[in-house]
Chains A and B, each alone.
Chain A
Amino acid sequence: MNHANKRIFDDSSADARRVVLPWRRTIQMCIANVRHRFGRSTLTFICIAVVVAFFASSMSYQFIIDKAMKSDDVHIQAVLEKAGVFTHDKQSLEKQKDQQIWLMTLSAILCLVGITNTILMSVTERFREIGTLKCLGALNEFVVRLFLIESAFIGVIASIIGGLLGCLLAALQVGAAFEFSLLGGTTFLQSFTASLPKAVGLGTVLTLLASLYPTYIASRMKPVDAMRVEV
């Protein structure tokens, strides 16, 4: 009896009754959002860029020194000798490294909290938009996808900029502490290729981690929110 009357629901099989959001469209929507809401995500952007710059510069710096130490160039060896690199005892070097790792972890955590907070703010700001998407048929997983990819975009762009700045900073540091000749040959270029991918990877993962909770909140928003008139 119920079966005979299923008119709205009868015109297609259960399979055809799926709503979809193609990847192409997802990406387009994310790009549009990142572009139009760029001002809003400035804080997130700066947070990520700074942490990634910090990470990239210490990695790049280390890379250049390590490479110089292995070099057979007499001049470079002399420069290192003069700066006292070889007389540093191993223990204090290790200690310095430990400190740096600590500092880096701490700043990463702070950055994580900061980014989570700013993304959460933007999510609550967009409650009506999210509710509307759901009224139009969006599933929770569409919202998850839209928000994660949007965050990934911001993460990648901010990380690339931060990473480039960090590597440049490392080169300047080397120049100031030793001599720019340490960057000769392919070293300068290599310092980028060695640390940039890792830095960008780290920044992107960090951003995605930070956006997990806000994305969860967004996906749970109810379609009735779209109807709310106050605010």
Chain B
Amino acid sequence: MNTKREIVRTQDVKKTYVMGDETVHALSGISLTIDAGEYISIMGPSGSGKSTFFNMVGGLDKPTSGEVYIDEVDIAQLDTYELAWLRCRKIGYIFQTFNLIPVMTALENVTLPMVFAGTDPDEAREKGANLLSLVSLGERLNHKPAQMSGGQQQRVAIARSLANDPAIILADEPTGNLDLKTGRDVIELLTKLKEERGVTIITATHDMKMLDVSDRVVWITDGKISKIQHRDEIDIQVGTINGMEEA
């Protein structure tokens, strides 16, 4: 499959926050095209605008100027219902803080997006159980988030993000609250999803472990893209990167 299909395109996206007399330029003109099935890592120091960019791409916030196209549709043109539908069916979100609903079991958390999508309850339960097996939590369908470790909670969140077979998974620092090993497991899982299901994965991170699995790495500094590296360019540098991780 050599035919590339564009799935996300941002055009000179800017975002400024005004707080009193102060204006913060969180994003100062980001133009980026992402192909379907790509694994993209957005790298950058904390405060560089990664989360802000994510909110724009995920349709959670509107840019001050510029456009975001998802599958060639300018999402600023969508009404409330279409936007909700997009969030429900086409984008899966994974958060740094896991964000499971505390009163719900793992299975209920995973099936919730299917409820919103109008899936038949029995079908949803079966699919939810399958997704939980996929993330190796098939034995914990009825556990509440509080009864699970951080890594397990994040795996439930990954299963939940897959509920409605989204085309895009947006993961904002998915390993930020996890230790090294569980972080690796999560990255491995994301890679597997990309390879087996062809999901487009966009992660924001300052976790160097993400580098060697990404197709492209987009470096952001001060709200601007400072460089974009392809996989082959990254491989050359692996030595230094590992060096950085050990440092």
Binding site for B on A (CB under 8 A): 2, 5-9, 17-22, 25, 29, 32-33, 35-37, 128-129, 131-140, 142, 222-224, 226-227, 229
Contact of A8 among B81, B102, B115, B167 (CB under 8 A): B167
Assess A224 versus B73: contact at CB under 8 Å? Given A22-B115, A137-B117: no
- List, in ascending order, chain A residues with CB within 8 A of B60's CB: 135, 222-224, 226-227
Contact of A19 among B93, B95, B101, B117 (CB under 8 A): B117
- List, in ascending order, chain A residues with CB within 8 A of B118's CB: 18-20
Residue B233 CB within 8 A of the other chain: no
Contact of A18 among B85, B90, B99 (CB under 8 A): B85
Binding site for A on B (CB under 8 A): 51, 54-55, 58, 60-61, 70-73, 80-82, 84-90, 93, 95-97, 99, 101-104, 112-113, 115-118, 160, 167, 172-173, 176
In the complex, what distance in Å separates the CA atom of A138 from the CA atom of B115? 10
- List, in ascending order, chain A residues with CB within 8 A of B55's CB: 224, 227
With most chain B CB atoms within 10 A of its CB, the pick from A8, A129, A142, A222 is A8
With most chain B CB atoms within 10 A of its CB, the pick from A2, A18, A133, A136 is A136
Judge whether B87 and A8 touch: CB under 8 Å: no
Assess A36 versus B103: contact at CB under 8 Å? Given A6-B71, A19-B84, A136-B88: yes
Judge whether A227 and B103 touch: CB under 8 Å: no
Assess A226 versus B99: contact at CB under 8 Å? Given A19-B88, A135-B60: yes
In the complex, what distance in Å separates the CA atom of A19 from the CA atom of B86? 10
In the complex, what distance in Å separates the CA atom of A21 from the CA atom of B88? 12
With most chain A CB atoms within 10 A of its CB, the pick from B96, B103, B116 is B116
Judge whether B72 and A132 touch: CB under 8 Å: no
Contact of B73 among A6, A37, A142 (CB under 8 A): A6
- List, in ascending order, chain A residues with CB within 8 A of B73's CB: 2, 5-6, 8-9
Judge whether B87 and A227 touch: CB under 8 Å: no
Contact of A129 among B58, B101, B113, B173 (CB under 8 A): B101
Judge whether A136 and B85 touch: CB under 8 Å: no
In the complex, what distance in Å separates the CA atom of A142 from the CA atom of B80? 13
The residue on B at minimum CB distance from A136 is B113
Contact of B84 among A6, A7, A128, A139 (CB under 8 A): A139
In the complex, what distance in Å separates the CA atom of A138 from the CA atom of B88? 8
